[in-house]
A = this chain, B = another copy of it.
Amino acid sequence: MQNKIIDLYNSKKPIINGWLHLPNSFIAESFGKMGWDSITIDMQHGQNDYQSSIAILQALQNSTSSPLVRIPWNEPGIIMKMLDLGVLGIIAPMINNKKDCEEFVSYCYYPQKGQRSFGPLRAQLHYGKDYFKNANNNILSFAMIETEEAINNIDEILSVPQLSGVYIGPADMSSSYGLKPKFDVEDKKILDNLEMIVKKTKKYKKISGIHNGSTKYAKRMIDMGFNLVTVLSDFRIMNDAAQNIVNEMKEIKLDNNKSNSY
């Protein structure tokens, strides 16, 4: 049992994270062979649920990418069920204050570190008999920082000792400040927050991650100091690339029609 994210973080290398919006284990299997450092199943804004995650995690079993999950909300039932399936990290949306954060991390870890319930059937099948012994040290907990409230409470959130890191949702953070929600934000207020978060996470020795809409912006975030960057998602990548093909063929078609004599 080994979490590649921890290794990369310790060796100060950036972590490139893939994102699964679609509940399809064959897409997951192909992602598992591409070289992502970690792959996140999105259960919040993505279309995954518990059942679809079983096959997805099985499809990722001989990938070197660490499996993470973004849960729909900070609720113990689904967090523990996903950990039992063998994910190595939880990204929890809308962690806005210390209480949110303390509850969240308590669900992620076995006692005494937390209150996670024992029964990791697939996790134990996959990681072996020592799963219980190793779980608390290898499972990562990421609090999403995506509201003005969270920004204001950033120190008390980062002070929670069991928390592994934070993950930035730029769209929600924008929306929280009354800005239009989007990725790859250029608004000064948000960029200042990102700089501040990078600085604070280094101070508190936490991992920092952020969602991006392009490789270019993701690289910029790495340069800014973020440890983990996500680029788009399976669905967005497919959608954009397929639309480009239609557009390319349709332009051809228009040109072609002029002289086409069949």
Hey, which bits of chain A sit against chain B, CB under 8 A?
12-14, 16, 18, 21-27, 29-31, 33-36, 44-47, 49-52, 54-55, 58-59, 61-62, 71-73, 75-78, 80-81, 84, 93-94, 110-112, 115, 117-122, 125-126, 132, 146-147, 169, 171-172, 175-176, 178, 180-181, 202, 215, 218-219, 222-223, 225, 227, 229, 231-232, 234-235, 237-243, 245-250, 252-253, 256-257, 260, 262
Chain B residues within an 8 Å CB radius of A27? 22, 235, 238
Q: Shortest beta-carbon distance, A174 to chain B, in Å?
A: 8
Q: How far is the CA of A125 from the CA of B22 in the complex (A)?
A: 14
Contacts of A202 in B (CB 8 A): 262
Once the chains bind, are A248 and B72 in contact (CB under 8 Å)?
A: no
The 10 closest A-B pairs by CB, nearest first: A45-B119, A72-B77, A73-B77, A238-B238, A241-B241, A62-B62, A118-B181, A55-B55, A58-B59, A118-B171
Report whether A242 and B26 are in contact in the complex, using a CB–CB cutoff of 8 Å. Answer: no
Contact status A122-B178, CB under 8 Å: no
Contacts of A72 in B (CB 8 A): 77-78, 80-81
Could you tell me the distance between the alpha carbons of A118 and B181 in the complex, rounded to whole angstroms? 7
Q: How far apart sit A262 and B208, CA to CA, in the bound complex (Å)?
A: 11
For A252, what are the chain B residues with a Cβ–Cβ distance below 8 Å? 215, 219, 222
Nearest-neighbor residue (CB-CB) of A173 within chain B: B118
| A25 pairs with B44, CB closer than 8 A | no
Smallest beta-carbon distance A4→chain B, Å: 13
Write the chain B residue with the least CB distance to A179.
B111
Chain B residues within an 8 Å CB radius of A50 = 49
Given contacts A18-B242, A25-B54, A256-B14, contact A248 B180 (CB under 8 A): no
Pairwise interchain contact A175-B55, C-beta atoms closer than 8 A = no
Could you list 11 A-B pairs, sorted by A, with CB under 8 Å?
A13-B257, A25-B55, A29-B58, A29-B122, A34-B246, A47-B121, A51-B51, A55-B59, A121-B235, A227-B262, A237-B241
